[in-house]
Structure 1
Amino acid sequence: MNKQIVYTEQAPAPIGPYSQAVKVNPSTTGGMVFVSGQVAIDLASQGDIKAETHGVMKNIGAILEAAGMDYTNIVKASIFVKDMNNFAAINEVYGQFFTNEPPARETVEVARLPKDVNVEISVIAVH
């Protein structure tokens, strides 16, 4: 297995011992990218879940771009929310990034997220 760490200054730096993303087998047909859970710390305290979700998705887009991919390469997403009552608003924003053939996904309510954000999303992308 060949792996490459993906990093961009266009998304928040990791807040622990992990990478923004890892690209596996980049020398083959483009490989797979595993993007760590992304949050929007700067937007979380504003109380606007749509803005926070949009910020998270922009971070994911920046990381995918650094890996030579985009949203169309995403095959799986995991969404973690602090309050499932925000599901519809999160889904509305998330859906804007996948107008055709959306990826597989799960959405899970959790007790708490890092830095007390309201939503965290991780993705797997394939080239």
Structure 2
Amino acid sequence: MRTSIDNPAGAPQPFGPYSQVARVEHADGGVLLYVSGQCADGDDMAAQSRGVFEALKLLLAAHGAGLDDIINIRTYLTDMDGFADYAAVRKEFLTATPPTSTTVAVSRLVPPRALVEVEVVAALTGATGAAAR
């Protein structure tokens, strides 16, 4: 197993001293990508959610993956009244079989105006995963 951690060029850079993606390559050629929680600017839940999924798309693409490769998603919302707006945007971006999922309400997120933060795990298999970088 080989592990690398990075902040891909061309993708959103982190707010602080952490890395955006941890890539774990297994001996069988499979790859797991652990993507740090993403927040985005915007005036409402829908706008921020779109920004989050666009950022996730860029981070995954930098490692040869896409949104359809997500196997687990964890969502943090500062106001559960915005869940329907978040869920509608999520459905626009995640069109394949839904990944496993957890959504929780939190009192606040690190960026002061953030309403939503999303972190994911994506999986690539076999030769696709081995050649993805």
Q: Give me the whole-angstrom Cα distance separating, in 2, the residues matched to 1:32 and 1:14.
A: 20
Aligned counterpart, 1:121: 118
Q: Give me the whole-angstrom Cα distance separating, in 2, the residues matched to 1:70 and 1:27.
A: 22
Q: CA deviation at 1:4?
A: 1.6
TM-score, reference length from structure 1:
0.89
In the alignment of these two chains, the number of paired residues is 123
Q: What are structure 2's unaligned runs of at least 5 residues? A: 125-133
Contact 1:113 1:120 in 2 (8 A): yes
Deviates more, 1:83-92 or 1:17-26: 17-26
Instruction: State the superposition RMSD in angstroms.
Output: 1.5
1:15-94 matched pairs, under 5 angstroms: 15-25=15-25, 28-40=28-40, 42-43=41-42, 47-94=43-90
Contact 1:39 1:119 in 2 (8 A): yes
Identity, % of aligned positions: 36
Q: CA deviation at 1:26?
A: 6.4
TM-score, reference length from structure 2:
0.85
Q: What are structure 1's unaligned runs of at least 5 residues? A: none
Distance 1:38 1:13, change over 3 A: same
Q: Give me the whole-angstrom Cα distance separating, in 2, the residues matched to 1:6 and 1:67.
A: 10
